[in-house]
Amino acid sequence: MNRRNMLWSAVSALGAALGASRAQAATDAPSNKLKVVYHLSDAEKVNFVLGNIQNHIDGVGGPEHVTLALVIHGPALKAFHWAQASPDVSKRVGDFSKGGVELAACGNTMKAQNVTLDELLPGFVSAERGGVVRLAELQSQGYLYLRP
């Protein structure tokens, strides 16, 4: 009987120690935010994808809880030319940029559309080697790929 009490005490102590160390590790651990890249090339999906990104941000409790990127190429890029962008698209892009979303425009598409970064909404960077190359780079860095 005495051995059973000693064994029970040892197991209980071990459980308490493990629980305490896990609680400490949870507070000390660096943030492992999910990283997601959205791919947009279809002009008719611009508002849908921007809505998905906003829902993603809202769903995780704010932009500080996720690392997001949006890579745009093809016909969809025209919706982000500052001269053609709707007020809704302009507002969303501004909010996303302030929230830390990487906004990458395909360098090849920019050349094809004869547009510069200055002619896109503020916050964009150029994916000089191409949108698909940027997508592959982000995926190799652990980003999850979404193409709504």
Per-residue pLDDT tens over the stretch 10-44: 444 444 444 444 444 444 444 579 999 999 999 99
Domain chopping of the chain, boundaries: 1-30, 34-146
The string of DSSP codes covering 20-61 is HHHHHHHHHSPP--EEEEEEE--GGGHHHHHHHHHHHHHHTT
Q: Does domain 34-146 have CATH number 3.40.1260.10?
A: yes
**In the predicted model, what is the mean pLDDT of residues 115-134?**
98
Q: Which residue has the higher pLDDT, 4 or 124?
A: 124
Per-residue pLDDT tens over the stretch 36-71: 999 999 999 999 999 999 999 999 999 999 999 999
Residue 135 has pLDDT above 50, yes or no: yes
Q: Which residues pair with 23 in a beta bridge?
A: none
Q: Which two tokens stand for residue 129?
A: 């080697």
90 vs 129: CA distance, rounded Å:
25
Give the pTM.
Answer: 0.78
